[in-house]
Amino acid sequence: MSDETSISGGTDPDLGTPAGIGDQDAVMGAAEAAAIMQEQDQRARQAFRVSHRGSFVAWGAITLLGYGVTWLAVHNAHPAEGPNPVGFALVSVLALGSALISGAEARSDAGVGGISARRRRINLTALVAGLVAMYTLEGALYRAGAGRPVLFVFEATAPILIAGLFYLTTSALSLDWALAGFGLWLAATAVGAAFAGPHGVWGVDALTAGLGFLFMAALEPRLRRATGLRLQHS
């Protein structure tokens, strides 16, 4: 619960400090005021803007290397085989690294509360729920008699589909059309790769999704600059 309180009556150890930015009512010309507005607005927007570049790189590596290693291990296997222990361990280590990078990226949001924070919590809850639902559904498919090839296709495609839907909903929070396009790309990739079968699905996902993540990582600085220019001229 948040109770609205007044700061009136708070202690003020520096009241009357004469110098610098804390000047109480320093004389300021119109040009100086305009310069301060421009500079502070740029600083604030830069500070609040969340970069996904680190997690794009990490997830690109997970998908490209993890799925790629798995494809190399299983593409000639008959009958179909799933991920080998080496590939699974690699993906796990990279996923842990990605989680740490995502945590570092979240520092841009540090101190920002209100509606955006509630939206982020709901969005992350949806991601976790999607992943839990994925593994639960896989159990249900196994219980219903689904064969190993079907389960391998599901294992390879479901995380990519969920990641795509996650980026799609994330894009809605900031009206980020590039991120929305990437989310759709991942969702389409996941569905399309499923038709490559239990062997090919790993290779198709490694290339289309993995390179897609890395492409977004390379593109993001340019998109951020473009967004900045739009803000200045709109």
Residues 6 or more apart in contact with residue 135 via CB below 8 angstroms: none
- Tokens 């390879």 — which residue? 156
- Distance in angstroms (rounded) separating the CA atoms of residues 190 and 154: 10
Give the one residue of 111, 128, 144, 145 binding other proteins; rule: CB under 8 A.
111
Distance in Å, CB of 163 to other proteins, minimum: 25
* 12 vs 76 by CB, closer to other proteins: 12
| Range in contact with other proteins (rule: CB under 8 A) among 7-15, 65-73, 144-152, 185-193 | 7-15
Q: Check residue 104 for interaction with other proteins (CB under 8 A).
A: no
Residues 6 or more apart in contact with residue 180 via CB below 8 angstroms: 167, 168, 171, 172
* 2 vs 76 by CB, closer to other proteins: 2
Site for other proteins in 19-58 (CB under 8 A): 21-26, 28-34, 36-38, 40-41, 43-45, 47-48
- Distance in angstroms (rounded) separating the CA atoms of residues 36 and 75: 61
* Lookup: tokens for 39: 């500079």
Q: Are 173 and 202 in contact (CB under 8 A)?
A: no
**Residues that bind other proteins in the complex, under the rule CB under 8 A:** 1-8, 10-15, 17, 21-26, 28-34, 36-38, 40-41, 43-45, 47-48, 110-117, 231-232, 234
